[in-house]
Structure 1
């Protein structure tokens, strides 16, 4: 039996923050959803098996620093929660794109929401093919 197939969905957002801050917060939220596939009378049924697990990590960037100067900090956070390197690159690219539009004094914070979506569909298909 093979492990479930995993793909990652992520969103990088800038959100307003109405409190005075001493550092620019970058909040990483990690979730996980596992979908089970059942074959019932020849039809595939999807069922959500596990509710999202949320892990929160916070990076605090000193005011005046560029977010681009802290890319390694972000990579360390992503590595710490087992995000594969190829997915890390996509997420970092999105953070970098948003970072060009802001400065760390702007009264906002950055939210990076990542969900690992796991499905056993590939496993079911392999079993049906007999591989």
Structure 2
């Protein structure tokens, strides 16, 4: 059996106010809203969401507040990715106190270094699906 410890970082008041239909930690709370905790890079951010909110709308709020593009976000709850964007928060069983892990997908860019005859080096970052003609 292993023991895991959790370290919570302090939460700033400005991180508690998210745009949208839910309020911050201390604000008024609607009867069908739930408090979840979003973790990313060791930070814990409390977030009120509505039970009927779609996963896509939660990701959009994260993008508006934290500037992580929706297409790069991966939300994980109890080891499962919340991949169906049109599903509701309640469909995945999120309740008060649930912890969502936000994983940011790395870009599909690759670095190409071009060395000229004169000895100059240029580094380009291009998408993996591009052909050499694109680089030229």
Which range, TM-score by smaller chain?
0.3 to 0.5
Q: Which has the higher contact order (CA 8 A, sep 6+)?
A: 1
Flag the structure with higher helix content: 1
Flag the structure with higher strand content: 1
- TM-score by structure 1 length? 0.37
